Amino acid sequence: MGCNANAVWGEFAAKINSKQGARVDLQIITGSPTMDDIPSKKALGKRNLKKRVGAKLNSKMILLMTTHREPLKSLTDQTHNDVICRWIDNPECHIIVKPHPVEVLDNTLLELDDRITVITEQNLLHPLIKAAHCIVSPASSILIPALAMNTP
């Protein structure tokens, strides 16, 4: 890692960084241990989650995570457009967008095809990450739960 130390939310996040090669003594726990209980979180189960979001039971869910900060937002929007163009017509895939809450407040979310499911409910975030076939996201803290749940 290209830094002197890492601020992490809790022990679990520190262990993830250490497994990726970061020195254990340079993982500084800052609080907000909501990530520490990820392994114990009860997922809705893929079947129930897919029903809830309107995905076919045999589909692969592609989860697109957005951001509101430029210049990353423009780059992320372009990447998401590329993913959407490539996979929207594939009947084996279901695209889900989980917008950053600020994008929802500012009404700056990318204009999306009606076949794409937009999920704004925060309580579905971890179940979506767990159930997704893959996640496309800018580099952000949202990737910590994905790493913890082994979601590519």
Written as tens digits, the pLDDT of the chain (152 aa) is 456 888 887 788 888 888 888 889 998 888 665 565 565 555 557 788 899 899 999 999 999 999 998 999 999 999 999 999 999 999 999 999 999 989 999 999 999 999 999 999 887 888 898 889 999 999 887 787 888 778 88
Decide: residue 97, CB within 10 A, 0-12 exposed, 13-18 middle, 19+ buried.
buried
The 3-state DSSP class for residue 17 equals helix
How high is the pLDDT of residue 44? 59
Question: What was the pLDDT predicted at 149?
Answer: 79
pTM of the model: 0.75
Nearest CA to 139 among 91, 79, 81?
79
- Looking at residue 73, its amino acid is K
Predicted pLDDT of residue 1:
45
